[in-house]
Amino acid sequence: MLLTVEDLHTRFITRDLDDRVRVAEALNGVSFGVGEGRILGLVGESGAGKSLTVTSLLGLLRPPARVTAGRALFEGRDLLALSEAALSEIRGSRIGLIVQSPRSALDPLARIGAQLVRVQRVHRRISEADARSRAEAMLVSVGIPDPRRRLEAWPHELSGGMAQRVVIALALINEPHLLIADEPTTGLDVTVQAQILDLLHEQVRRRRIGAIVITHDLGVVAQYCDDVAVMFAGQVMEQGAVAEVFARPAHPYTRALLASVPERLVLGTGKMLGGPPPDLYALPRGCLYGQRCAHAAAQCAAPPPMSATQSGAARCHFAGLA
Ligand SMILES: Nc1ncnc2c1ncn2[C@@H]1O[C@H](COP(=O)(O)OP(=O)(O)OP(=O)(O)O)[C@@H](O)[C@H]1O
Ligand SMILES: [Mg+2]
């Protein structure tokens, strides 16, 4: 495994007006792995903790959020135990991050070429001229025509699809081993979305790097991802190879998600599948999905462990192999 996340816990710890400590348990034991040359799709409804998982791993949390437990092994080191200096060296070099809005990822005051040169020179000793020619080659490999001219362009001169390609070029230029994309195509039209995802897919295969793609679109997972992790209330409820999990979903939440697809009940739009998620300030003791689950039974008062299924693993008392 390129990245192995084990039992990640993140909390928001605040004080109310009466100075009582309030704790929101946002991530409750997230575990998953990303293999070389593979794309992991991270799915789950809005608020499930997908983005928070990534920001926790990369040391990008802001107070009052704090990682309170867990390990995240990447290239032999635990990301959660590294200093801010060590993590910032890894971000943008060993791990490339692609955020949802390309506009916010680009510096509006710098030409595309200058940004591509700068990100290289922050992380390695390279001459201006060499960095520029690598930037030009990278624009070609992300499918940007006439790269020499594009290097001179300002971010506002680019279309949404072109801007997202530039963001991907920025994420890839230092040859990271892991690429993390949080809703990389939200807001782009369908054709451009397919082009961007094809590009990510091709880069992962060609460079044999690992990738995490966060998306609310299960069609995207089916088409582009190798593995899937389904999140709910800050836990991975089910995981496995996409083909297996989608053919034989073992967790009631995965089944509900898959059943919602034909009706276009799009996740990540604030709509909820069959009720609100549990209150993160007062989580139930047993299964976190229990309140919503049609199959909840007496056993569910105890938290279900992750256990093997025919298609991978699921956190449900009734999902076992038997
Ligand atoms: N300051 C805060 N205090 C308490 N809880 C918070 C705070 N900020 C965020 N949260 C909670 O953290 C959880 C994780 O949200 P996160 O942004 O990771 O969700 P997501 O799965 O990425 O959703 P989306 O699909 O909408 O992007 C949410 O339930 C949110 O309510
Ligand atoms: Mg998010």
Evaluate whether residue 190 is within a structural domain. yes
Neighbours of 246 (CB within 10 A): 17
Evaluate whether residue 81 is within a structural domain. yes
Domains: count for the chain: 1
Residue 264: pLDDT band by 50, 70, 90 thresholds?
A: very low
β-strands 178-182, 95-98 pairing: parallel
pLDDT of residue 242: 98
Give the closest residue to 33 by CA, choosing from 243, 240, 249, 319. Answer: 240
Output DSSP code: residue 91.
Answer: B
Q: Rounded CA gap, 291 and 322, in Å?
A: 25
Q: Rounded CA gap, 246 and 19, in Å?
A: 47
User: E strand or H helix at 261, and its extent?
Assistant: none
Phi, psi of 241 (to 5 degrees): -65, 140
Q: Whose CA is nearest to atom 18 of ligand 1?
A: 49
Q: Rounded CA gap, 81 and 202, in Å?
A: 32
Residue 237, token pair as written in the block: 């409820």
Site residues for ligand 1, CB cut-off 6 Å: 12, 24, 26, 44, 46-52, 216, 268, 280
Residue 270: pLDDT band by 50, 70, 90 thresholds?
A: very low
Q: Given a cut of 80, is residue 263 above it in pLDDT?
A: no
Query: Ligand 1 centre and the CA of 309: distance in Å?
Result: 29
Once rounded to an integer, what is the mean pLDDT over residues 250-278? 72
Q: Which of 16, 43, 50, 237 to mutate to test the pocket of ligand 1 (most atoms within 8 A of CB)?
A: 50
Query: Ligand 2 centre and the CA of 131: distance in Å?
Result: 33
Evaluate whether residue 110 is within a structural domain. no
- The tens digit of pLDDT for each residue in 61-106 reads 999 999 999 999 999 999 999 999 999 999 989 999 998 788 888 9
Q: Given a cut of 50, is residue 267 above it in pLDDT?
A: no
> Which CATH number does the domain housing residue 223 bear?
3.40.50.300
User: Can you tell me whether residue 202 is helix, strand or coil?
Assistant: helix
Rounded to a whole number of angstroms, the CA Rg of the chain reads 20
Query: Ligand 2 centre and the CA of 18: distance in Å?
Result: 31
Q: Whose CA is nearest to atom 16 of ligand 1?
A: 49
Q: Given a cut of 50, is residue 170 above it in pLDDT?
A: yes
Q: Are 175 and 120 in contact (CB under 8 A)?
A: no
Q: How far is CA 130 from CA 92, 124, 134, 138, 312, in A?
A: 18, 12, 6, 12, 46
Evaluate whether residue 159 is within a structural domain. no
Q: Whose CA is nearest to atom 30 of ligand 1?
A: 47
Evaluate whether residue 263 is within a structural domain. yes
Record the pTM.
Answer: 0.93
Evaluate whether residue 261 is within a structural domain. yes
Q: Are 123 and 170 in contact (CB under 8 A)?
A: no
Q: Rounded CA gap, 145 and 181, in Å?
A: 23
Domain that includes residue 225, residue range: 3-94+176-314
Ligand 1 atom, smallest distance to 268 CA: 25
pLDDT of residue 99: 85
230 Cβ neighbours under 8 A, 6+ residues apart: 43, 44, 236, 237, 238, 239, 245, 251, 253, 254, 257
Once rounded to an integer, what is the mean pLDDT over residues 35-40? 96
- The tens digit of pLDDT for each residue in 107-136 reads 999 999 999 999 999 999 999 999 999 999
Q: Whose CA is nearest to atom 27 of ligand 1?
A: 46
Evaluate whether residue 72 is within a structural domain. yes
Evaluate whether residue 268 is within a structural domain. yes
- For residue 99, give the ligand nearest its CA: 2
Q: Which residues of 99-136 are buried (b: 16+ CB within 10 A; e: fewer)?
A: bbebeebbeeeebbbbbbbebbeebeeeeeeebbebbb
